[in-house]
Amino acid sequence: MLVPAGALADRMSATLAQHALRAGKLLAYNVVAALQGKEPRPFVYRNKGTMAALGHRRGIANLMGLKVWGFAAWWVWRTYYLMQMPRWERRLRIMADWTVGLLFRPDAAKIDLNPDPEPVSEAVEPESAEAVTA
């Protein structure tokens, strides 16, 4: 799916977060500019790159024409999205979790230390087989 990329109707952008984030920042600037009686700026999108995580610590990326793959691309992808998180407290928590994930293999089984406080309701059985067939 494509959406118009700014004032020029012949230019289109994909519906990706990177387009929306930049358009949103410019929209905020243009609202303030309009309130101050200034001219708004047109939205012009320039692709800075594309990244994808492929799983198992592998990724691919095209960063401003530089092609990166494997662990390096995966690391860049994770670092970029880590920096998009609000507040350093959250970033540090995520970073700690990811570091543990890098150093240790995932557990085969997990133990639920916080069981559901509500008892599981028992299934109601019919009083007799005749009640089911009747």
Instruction: For the sheet with 49-55, list strands across it.
Output: 49-55, 58-63, 66-70
Q: Can you tell me the distance from the alpha carbon of 122 to that of 25, in angstroms, rounded to the nearest whole number? A: 54
**Overall pTM surpassing 0.75 (yes/no):** no
Q: Quick one: tokens of 80?
A: 């970029």
Same domain, 61 and 34: no
State the pLDDT at residue 37: 93
Domain for residue 4, yes or no? yes
Domain for residue 83, yes or no? yes
- Confidence class for position 134, pLDDT limits 50, 70, 90: very low
Is 60 exceeded by the pLDDT of residue 6?
no
Q: What range defines the domain where residue 86 resides?
A: 48-104
The region that residue 49 occupies, defined by phi over 0 for left and psi between -120 and 50 for alpha, beta otherwise, is left
Q: Count structural domains, the chain.
A: 2
Same domain, 62 and 21: no
Same domain, 39 and 58: no
Tens digits of residue pLDDT in 41-94: 988 777 778 888 888 889 999 988 899 999 999 999 999 889 988 899 999 999
